Each structure stands twice: as structure tokens, then as C-alpha cells.
Amino acid sequence: MNKLSRRDFNTKIAKSAGATALMSISPLACAIAAKKDKRKLGIALVGLGSYSTYQLAPALMDAEHCYLAGIVTGTPEKEKIWAGKYGIPKENIYNYDNFDDIAQNSAIDIVYVVLPNSMHADFSIRAAKAGKHVICEKPMAISVEECDAIIQACKENGVKLGVGYRLHSEPYTQEVKRIVREKTFGKINYISADAGYRSMSYPAQWRLNKELSGGGALMNMGVYSIQSVIYGTGENPISVSALEFSTRPDYFKETDETITAQFEFESGAIGNIMTSHNISTNRLFASCERGWYELDPASTYIPLAGRTSQGELNFPQESQQKLQMDDFAKHILFDQPNKAPGEMGKRDMIIVEAIYESISKGGKKIPLNFTSGYGFGG
């Protein structure tokens, strides 16, 4: 521990996000063994914040088709901690300035962008130009224009692009898709999806900073609600109208606090979403001709739960992130379907922009014209 006492050392690393989690999870040997497995693709995580630390890195320890090969961080103290914990060699560690050198590193197959939203486009495009496959966290970017730029960069450089929509690999969500596909309960008449939490005591966080987040609850949790009403009906909406509610303007100075939006679908189904940084909720419910189905919670990464008018759903629980990253690796390795392609992230951003437009026009109905190419995910 060099010249630092253990207490000093612990205090220092506790200051960086995720340090405590790193001290308690699975052993270095696991990562080293994984590296030797030639069938596994090397992933570099960009941005070592909460999600990378507590979810993605642990999930990569168990993944079958990919492993944690590298990191990209702007916080030098994290380099040493992560290198020690996961056995990441020096040559696979980058910062935001030398990131483009990753092009020369054959150990990295996939770059996973886990940064604040406004940085997604820049790093996804740089990763594509470096010849790396890209997973970009949700929301894919902060505008449709940025989504287009990411998609184009990936196409031009011949790399695959996935959005971090982990639920497309999650069993309860798969069951919802099956119910929709097979019309188990007949025509869907109404779908509602809420996703929110109460943000209390951290006004300086990037999620409340418009420049870094691109927006508030809608950008952060609202994309889950949008996703839910789409895979929960199997249709893209044909219109949306929305309203914004602000009850704590002193806390939510720059970004939206609570938004509700109503969707129309070609089939006649009606959709309703609520998303909030002020209200805790996480639910998907659909009322159909001959019954109903519900997930509650519907989009957390603690285990989901659900039931239908026929009874409880019960599926095995596995890390959603492990399933998601393995699915993306299988898309690259074995040409299996891309469960959350860039076009899906772009579609959701079209809807996000339409919602903001509707709010700015006092709840006016905004038509949505999706043609082909906006897949629902496998």
C-alpha cells in the first residue's frame, strides 16, 4: 500500500465512483481466464461511473461471449483501481484525449459508451472511426441529428451498432413480446407505461444539467416508457401529445421534472406514459380484448416481476447486462439479430423530440410517420 495507510487509501478510492463495489466483487483470476478465451470479444467501457462500476463490469465477469478488455476514463485514480481489480493491462487503458489510439489495439473489439448523454455521439462516432463495434447507452444521443450521425459513422466504417436497451434480452420483456406477437389476449386496447424515481439531494448531478443530459426525466427514464408502449403493442405510434408538470422548479432548474404523453396507434390502441424525476414508479400494464398483462417493476435491473389475467409470470433471474452484452457479441460473432439496433434508438429520439415539441405547443397532437427500418428488436 506504499506510503498510504489503509484508511487513507480507502478514503481516496471511495471518492471515485464505484470504488467500494470494486473491492467486493469477483476475483481477478476470472478476468484473466476470460481473456484467454478466443471466442470472447474484448469490450472497453468508456466512462467508469455508476453503471459501468456496479452493473456492466460485474456482468462482464460472467459473460460468455465477451469480456472486460479495456477502460477509458477521465479520472486517473480509477485507472489503477480498475487495472488492479480486473487485471487490465496498461496498453488497454485510455483517457478521453488519447482514446482514438484505440484504433491500433486489436484486443478491443467493442467500445461501450457509458458517458453522460451529450457525450454519446462524439465517442460513438470516434469509436466507429477507430474501427470498433459500438454499444451506446440510452438515450442514444440528445437529438435525432446526432443519432443519424452515429448510424452513418458505423455504416461508413463497417461496424455494428447497438443501443444499451438491456430489456430486449430480459425474459419478462421477451414474454410481453410473445404475448403481443401471438395475440394471447386478443387486440390490445390500452397500454400504460410509467418510469420514474424521486431525485432528492444531488442538484449538481449531470442528469439535471441540460448541456450534459440533453433533457430531464424524459431523456433518462422516459425512453423506457416509450420502449414499453412500443414493444407492449408491437406497433410504432402514429401520434403523440404531451404535457409537462413542474412542482419543484428550484430543484429542477434546467430539465423536465414530470411528463405525461398520450399515443395513438394504427390498430386503435391508446397509449399513456408518465415519466418523472420526482415520482417513483415503474410499471407496464396493458388491457386487451380478452385479458391483461402487467410488469411491475418493468424496467429496473433488480429482478422484474409480472402477471397476466391467467396468473403470475415466473422466469429465472440473470444479469440483464450480461444477457444484453452477450446478445450483442453473438450478433457480431454469429450474425444473430441485433436486438437493439441504432435505428431503434433513433426512433425513440424522434418520439422524444415530438414530445418536447408537443409540450412547447401546449399539448398539440404531433403526427409520427415511421416507415420501415425502425425495428422492434428480436
What the block records as the C-alpha cell of 75 is 479520472
Query: What are the two backbone dihedrals, phi and then psi, of residue 161, each rounded to the nearest 5 degrees?
Result: -130, 130
CA distance 253 to 276: 14
Applying CB under 6 A, which of residues 40, 166, 331, 347 lies at the interface with ligand NDP? 166
Site for ligand NDP in 351-370 (CB under 6 A): none
Select 16 or 192, whichever has its Cβ closest to ligand NDP. Answer: 16
CA distance 111 to 130: 10
Task: Give DSSP secondary structure letters for 7-59.
Answer: HHHHHHHHTSTTHHHHTTS--HHHHHHHHH-TTSEEEEEE--SHHIIIIIHHH
Q: CB under 6 A: which stretch of 110-118, 151-159, 170-178, 195-203 binds ligand NDP?
A: 110-118
- Catalytically annotated residue among 40, 138, 339, 346: 138
CA distance 240 to 329: 35
Residue 75, interface with ligand NDP (CB under 6 A)?
yes
Q: Which residue is nearest to ligand NDP (CB)?
A: 49
Q: Shortest Cβ distance from residue 45 to ligand NDP (Å)? A: 8
Residue 74, interface with ligand NDP (CB under 6 A)?
yes
Active site includes 197?
Answer: no
Query: Look-up: residue for cell 416507415?
Result: 371
Active site includes 96?
Answer: no
Site for ligand NDP in 231-290 (CB under 6 A): none
Q: Shortest Cβ distance from residue 309 to ligand NDP (Å)? A: 29
What the block records as the C-alpha cell of 375 is 425495428
Applying CB under 6 A, which of residues 47, 215, 222, 342 lies at the interface with ligand NDP? 47
* Cis? peptide before 58, omega within 30° of 0: no
Q: Shortest Cβ distance from residue 113 to ligand NDP (Å)? A: 8
What SS3 state is found at 96? Answer: coil
Give residues in contact with ligand NDP (CB under 6 A). Answer: 17, 47-52, 73-75, 78, 114-117, 137-138, 164, 166, 206, 212, 220, 301
Instruction: Point out the residues that are catalytic.
Output: 138, 224
